[in-house]
Amino acid sequence: MIDAFIGLGGNQGDVPAAFAAATVALAALPHTQLVRVSSNFRTPAWGNAAQADFINAAAHVQTTLAARALLDALLDIERQHGRMRDGERWGPRTLDLDLLLYGDLCCDLPGLHLPHPEMHRRAFVLVPLAQIAPDIIVPGQGRVVDLLAPLDTDAITALT
């Protein structure tokens, strides 16, 4: 089984309900076990700041699915929850599921970049991830807890 970590995000509609449904869908994936899910955190919008705050969380799964198959399943779960990938980066969304880490795999393929690019610089990713896996190593970067230490987390608040 491979340990994989998934970032959850959203800022449209009932995001906590979308997260709950997404975690049920993650647990139902073939050859996959849901291990743990972080609390939900309110975070400021990033990239395009002229939108509602986001809610972010992280999930840990163990799977025998290949990285691409897991990513495809995540994209399918997003679509089931109304996510439209219309080309707008960092825009509002009902549900965003990002494959952050897949074991210690490092790859840069079309549509599949592991570890997730720039995750090591984004507090909205690292705060929930640190809650469930503070000592996990981001390949080429270091431990999650160490990556989070220098980042500004003042505007991030736990919701659950």
Tell me: the pLDDT tens digits for 129-150? 999 999 999 999 999 999 999 9
pLDDT number for residue 83: 61
CA–CA dist 37, 129 (Å, integer): 9
Active site residue 42: no
- Which one has a higher pLDDT value, 102 or 160? 102
Active site residue 85: no
- The token pair that represents 157 in the structure block: 């608040």
Q: How many CB atoms lie within 10 A of CB 114?
A: 22
Q: Of the listed 76, 98, 104, 121, which one is catalytic?
A: 98
Active site residue 143: no
Q: Of the listed 72, 85, 86, 96, which one is catalytic?
A: 96
Total structural domains in the chain? 1
What is this structure's pTM?
0.94
- The token pair that represents 3 in the structure block: 């340990």
pLDDT number for residue 103: 97
CATH of the domain at 89: 3.30.70.560
Active site residue 36: no
Give whole-number Cα distances, 8 to 74, 95, 140, 143, 150, in Å: 10, 7, 23, 20, 22
Q: Of the listed 53, 72, 76, 83, which one is catalytic?
A: 83
Tell me: the pLDDT tens digits for 82-105? 766 665 556 678 899 999 999 999
Q: What are phi and psi of 66, to 5 degrees?
A: -65, 155
Q: Of the listed 3, 14, 86, 93, which one is catalytic?
A: 93
Tell me: the pLDDT tens digits for 100-121? 999 999 999 998 999 999 999 9
